Amino acid sequence: MLLRPTESGIWCEAGGFHLDPWRPVDRAVISHAHSDHARAGCRAYLCAARGEGVLRERIGLDAPIETLAWGERREIGGVAVSLHPAGHVLGAAQIRVEHRGEVWVFSGDYKRAPDPTADEFEPVACHTFITESTFGLPIYRWQEPEEIFAAMNTWWRGNAGEGRTSVISAYALGKAQRVLAGVDASIGPIAVHGAVARFLPRYAAAGVVLPEVVGGDADGAKRVRGVGLVIAPESAIGSPWIRKFGEVSTAAASGWMKVRAARRRAALDRGFALSDHADWPALLRTIAETGAQRVLATHGYTAPLTRYLRERGIDAGVLPTRYEGERGEAEADEAAPTAEEAGA
C-alpha cells in the first residue's frame, strides 16, 4: 500500500512522510488546521499556502511550515505530492500522492456546499480515494446554506424583538467564520468569543471578508445584550462567561442538529444543521467523480458507507485513524447521535 496507518498516523513509506499524524513525526503533510488533523511538535510541516496562517495560529507561530500553491507538485523521496481544495475550512486540502504511476488521494475533511470562507472543492482523479465519512448515513442530507441562514436570521430577529441575546455555538475555526459570513449583520451587533477572535486576522489576511465584530468583554457584552448575536465555542455556552449577555436564547450550528435526539441532548433552544462536512449524497457524488477503483473510509460512520459501496461492486474498506470529524471540532461536543439514533 502506498499509504498505510501506523501508531503515529497515515504513513507513506516511499516518501518518508506522514499525512495528518496524531503524534509528532519528522515530516508531516497537513490537510487542515483542526486539532484532530494538525498536532504540534513535528520537525517539518507542509500545507496549502491558503492554510498557513490558521495552521500557525493552531500549532505555533514559529512552526517549521512550508507551503504549496493549489495544484503545485513537489517531489518528496520520489513521491509526487500536490494539494487541492477540500472546501472544508480556510486552506483545507486534499492530499494527492503519486508513486510509479499509482495515485492516491487523501481527502482530509471536505464539503461540497458553497462557502465564501473556504476554497471550493476540486474533484481529483485517483486509483485509491481515502475519504472521511463523518456523516456517512442516508439520513444526513443538508439544506441549501441560504435556507439555513435565513432560518438563523429569523431566529435572531425574533430574539432581538423580545429582548434576548442570541447565542450560537460553532467551532472556533471554520464554522464560526462561516456563520459570520452567512448571517445578516444589519440585524444587530455581533460579538465573538476570544477563541473565535484569534483566527479572524488570519481570515482577513487571506482576503476573506467578514462583518465587523466586538469582543466578548464587558463593553462588547453591553453592546449586544438583548439585541445582538454571540458566536462562541460550545464549551463557553454553559460557562460563567455567558451570563454577562443577560437573557439568552441558545442554538448550535452543527450537522448533528439534523437528528432530533441530538438536539434534545444538547439542551438548546434551536439547532441549525450547518455542517462543514459532506452529506450522504455529496460523499457518493465525490467518490464517483474521483473514478477511484478502491475507497477507504477514515472516520465517522465508516461501516454503513463502506457496506453500501461494496454492495454496489466497489472495493471499499476502513482505514483506522484517530480523526473525529465534526465531533472533534466541537471540542467538547456531546451532541453527536449514536448510530441507532441516526438510523444506522
Predicted local distance difference test score (pLDDT) of residue 340: 46
- How confident is the model over 44-56, as pLDDT tens digits? 999 999 999 999 9
Whether the CB-CB separation of 121 and 112 falls below 8 Å is answered with yes
* Cα separations in angstroms, 64 against 29, 34, 46, 61, 111: 12, 17, 9, 9, 28
Set of cell numbers at residue 52: 498557513
Set of cell numbers at residue 191: 460579538
Give Cα 81 distance to the centre of its chain.
22
Q: How far apart are CA 39 and CA 59, in angstroms?
A: 7
Predicted local distance difference test score (pLDDT) of residue 335: 44
Q: How far apart are CA 269 and CA 139, in angstroms?
A: 22
Give the global pTM: 0.93
Residues of the chain with pLDDT below 50 are: 328, 330-336, 338-341, 343-344
- How confident is the model over 131-155, as pLDDT tens digits? 999 999 999 999 999 999 999 999 9
Predicted local distance difference test score (pLDDT) of residue 327: 59
The residue written with cell numbers 471554520 in the block is 174
Predicted local distance difference test score (pLDDT) of residue 331: 42
Predicted local distance difference test score (pLDDT) of residue 22: 95
